[in-house]
Structure 1
Amino acid sequence: MYTDFLSKLPDTAAYEKPTQEKINDADKEFYYLFEVGLPKDYIKLLHHTNGLSYDGRSICGVYEEEFLTEYPRKKSMDIIRFNSSFRDMTDITDYILLGKSSIDYIVYNTSEKKYQILSNGTMESFGTFDSFIELLYAFFEV
């Protein structure tokens, strides 16, 4: 499923996948901070790539501190930092932010249990999807 999707993007769009330990640690920390775990479909993507970035569109990863020290621009795309920053600036807690473009947020709606593409200005929905892979195909237009 994700292998086929990733094959449609340039090799440079994907990153080295995180370890299972890092994925587990990130999920536990996310739950500790926000009282909700990371979506299972998103975790499945992490078994293939630690985030994505292509054509101005990005999906968050779960980065080690050493990596963020070497690539500080990636700090904003660390899923825990991205969600912490968003929640510090808003009172919106129904969404887990999974990625973004210049005009959109990619989210998991925890109350509806659906993936969505939302306007990053008005939070208006541009699409609702049952699975993360469906959302990725629409978001990356492949």
Structure 2
Amino acid sequence: MSRARTEQLIADYYQAFNAGDMDRFLGLLTDDVRHDINQGERETGREAFAAFMERMNRNYREQLVDIQIMSSTDGSRAAAEFVVLGEYLVTDDGLPEARGQRYRLPAGAFFEVRDNKVARISNYYNLNDWIAQVGA
């Protein structure tokens, strides 16, 4: 896969996320996608990722801005840096109480790409920064 196609795939991934188009978003993943949750476990499979996103969309309202996408020369890997603009809607397990707090959080992600689909996504952000923003 070319570098340009990989970067377009990742751009499409974030465009679908920002539009709330979960069908399109999940359609960009391989059936066996691996998802490394920030400071958490690895989940495998599109169904597991869909369940994760259902919980996220219930508890948080987020838009990603200032997205910068980079990729390897062969297009098999990519990375993105962005800022999460969010609102904490419903209390998530083990986290501070949700009261509609807004947050702005720098974040990043790493991707593996196979057959023009996302085969792995690893998201990273500073959880302590987020807790400080919503817990204050």
For normalisation by structure 2, the TM-score amounts to 0.28
Q: Which has the larger radius of gyration?
A: 2
* Larger relative contact order (CA 8 Å, sep ≥ 6): 2
In proportion to residue count, which structure has more strand? 2
In proportion to residue count, which structure has more helix? 1
For normalisation by structure 1, the TM-score amounts to 0.27
